[in-house]
Structure 1
Amino acid sequence: MTVLGFRPALWPTLIALPAVVLTFGLGVWQVQRLAWKEGLIAERTARIALPVLSGLPAAFAPDKHLFRRARFAGVFLHDREMYRPARSRRRGEIGVQVVTPLRLDSGGTILVNRGWVPDLRRNPETRRDGLVAGRVALVGVLRTPARAGWFVPDNDPAANAWFRLDLGQMATHAGLAAVRPYYAELVADAPGGWPRGGQTRVTVRNAHLEYAITWFSLSLIGIVVYVLWHRRFRPAGRAAADNRAA
C-alpha cells in the first residue's frame, strides 16, 4: 500500500540532487554559449559590411582586421596552387577550394582562397580562363585559419590535399618565403566562372538553444521524478513511521 506524503529520503536525494544541479548548470552554460556565438556572428556580419580596406594591413590585428574586406594586387603563382577538400555551399557537391599564392605588389606573398571547383575541374587545364596571367587587382575577406576539429584529417602534402589551413606548412610545401600570417577569400568568381568565389561563411553551427532546452528539460524531469517518488511510491509503513517520529 502507498500513501501520499513527502519527506526527503537520503539515498534518492543523494542521487537526484547532483544530477539536477549538473543538468541545470549545463543548461545555463549552453545559454551562455548561445549568447557568445550570436555575438560572434553579429560581429562578423558587421565587419564584413564595413567599407573595403585600401590595401592589406602590415600588422594584422584579429580584433580589427578579421573578416574585413580588402583590396590588394599582385601576380598569381598558378603553378603552386593547393587544394582544400570542401563541399559546395548550395548543393553540397564534392569538390575543392583552390588556394593560390599571390605575389603582392607591396612585397611578400599571401595565400588566396580563390573559391570552389567541383572535382571534375580540379585540374587547372579544365578551367584555363580562370588562370589569369600577369597583375590582377582583387577584393578578398581577410581570415585566419580556424581551429580544426578532432575528426578533420591531417594534411596530405604528397597528394596536395589540405584539410587544415596550416599557412606555414602550406608555404613550405609551395617553396614560399615571407608569407602573410593570414589569408584572403575572394568575393568574386574567376573569369570563366571557376573557381567560384564568395566562400566566406560568417555563420557558424549554433545548436546551443536546443542543447539548453535539452539540459533544462532533463533537470525538470529529475525534479518531477524525485517528488513523485516521495509522494507516491514510499512504503506506507515507512511513511507512518516518519509521521510518528515527527
Structure 2
Amino acid sequence: MSTVARPGAVRSLAAPAIVSLICLAILLGLGIWQLQRKGEKEALIGRIVARSRIEPPASPPSRGDWDAARDEFERVRVTGTLLNDRETLVHGLAAGAVPGNALQGYYVLTPLKRDDDGSLVLINRGFVPTELKDAGRRPAGQIAGSTTITGMLRGPEIRTMFVPPPEPAKGEWFHRDIDGIAAAKGLTVMPYLIEADGTPNPGGWPKGGQLRVDLPNNHLQYAFTWFGIAACLVGVFGVFAWKRLSEERDTDSPRSPA
C-alpha cells in the first residue's frame, strides 16, 4: 500500500494553507502589538504616578510653552475665579460605592480666570451623577471668588469611532474637546485642561480626583489570548491536513479480493 500522498492531495491543501498562514500572521501580529502596548501602558502608569507625587506643584505652562508630550500629567496649582455660568457637562462614568458598579453622570468642566495673568484655563472639577446635572441642585459647589485648585495637566481627548460626535447646540459633549467647548462658549482658553485632585468641594460635588493612576494593564493577557488562538489554528490545520492526506491514501489503497 502506498504511503506517499499524491501531488493532487498536496495541491488541495494549498488554498487552506494560504488562508491559515494569513490568519496566523494576523494573530501573531495582534499578540506582538499587545506586548508593545503593555510596555507603553507600563511607561504611562509610571509617568503618571511619578508626576502625581511632585511637591510643590508647578505653575501651569503658558500657551507657547505647552508641550503635550512633555507636560501632560504634570501636577500643577493655579489660583483664580471659576466662571460657573460657563461650565460644560461632559458625559462620563465614575466608580460607584460597590466595586464593579459605575455611576452614570457628567464631568464638570469650568473655565477659571487666573489671578496672575487673566488667562483662562478649563478645570475638570470632577464628576456629578445625573440627578445633579442642574447646577441649581449643587449650589454649594459653585465656588465664588478666588480659589486655588491643584491637579494634573491633560491635553485634548481624541474622539474615537465609538464615541458619539458632540452636539454643541444641545450642550451634549462626550469627550474632552477643549477647542470645541471653548468655541461653543465663546472663550479663548489654554490648549490643555487641569484635572482637579480629590480636594473636597463644598457640598461634596463635583467629586474630583477622578484621574486614575492605577490604569488597567491587561495587555499581557490579551497577548496570550492571541498567541493561544494562533496555536489552536496551527493545531486545527495540522489535524485537517492529516485527515485530508489520510483520506487520499485510503482512496489509493488497493482493495482485497472478495
Distance change (3 Å), C-alpha of 1:118 and 1:93: same
CA distance in 2, matches of 1:122, 1:237: 71
CA distance in 2, matches of 1:164, 1:151: 11
Structure 2's unaligned 5+ residue stretches are: 253-258
Shift of residue 48, structure 1, vs aligned partner: 1.7
The structure 2 residue matched to 1:141, chosen from 143, 149, 152, is: 152
CA distance in 1, matches of 2:82, 2:247: 84
What is the percent sequence identity of the aligned residues?
33
Q: State the match for 1:110 in structure 2.
A: 121
Q: State the match for 1:181 in structure 2.
A: 191
Q: State the match for 1:92 in structure 2.
A: 102
| Counterpart contact for 1:2–1:233, Cα < 8 Å | no
Map 1:1-246; keep pairs closer than 5 Å: 9-12=10-13, 13-58=17-62, 59-90=65-96, 91-107=101-117, 108-177=119-188, 179-187=189-197, 188-204=199-215, 206-235=217-246, 238=249
Higher mean C-alpha deviation, range 67-76 or range 168-177:
168-177
CA distance in 2, matches of 1:28, 1:172: 41
Shift of residue 190, structure 1, vs aligned partner: 1.1
SS in 2 for 1:181: coil
| Counterpart contact for 1:115–1:189, Cα < 8 Å | no
Shift of residue 225, structure 1, vs aligned partner: 2.6
SS in 1 for 2:192: strand
| Counterpart contact for 2:59–2:76, Cα < 8 Å | yes
CA distance in 1, matches of 2:171, 2:104: 16
Distance change (3 Å), C-alpha of 1:224 and 1:158: same
CA distance in 2, matches of 1:116, 1:30: 31
| Counterpart contact for 1:4–1:232, Cα < 8 Å | no
Higher mean C-alpha deviation, range 184-193 or range 151-160:
151-160
CA distance in 2, matches of 1:100, 1:237: 74
Shift of residue 83, structure 1, vs aligned partner: 0.5
CA distance in 1, matches of 2:248, 2:83: 86
Distance change (3 Å), C-alpha of 1:220 and 1:4: farther
Shift of residue 239, structure 1, vs aligned partner: 8.0
User: Displaced runs of 4+ in structure 1, greater than 6 A?
Assistant: 1-5
Shift of residue 230, structure 1, vs aligned partner: 4.0
1:75 partner letter: T
CA distance in 1, matches of 2:23, 2:191: 46
1:55 partner letter: S
Q: State the match for 1:244 in structure 2.
A: none
**1:129-182: CA deviations, max 9, x gaps?**
1122111111111111221221211222223222122212211222223x1110
Shift of residue 209, structure 1, vs aligned partner: 2.5
Shift of residue 215, structure 1, vs aligned partner: 1.9
Task: Using structure 1 for the length normalisation, give the TM-score.
Answer: 0.85
Structure 1's unaligned 5+ residue stretches are: 242-246
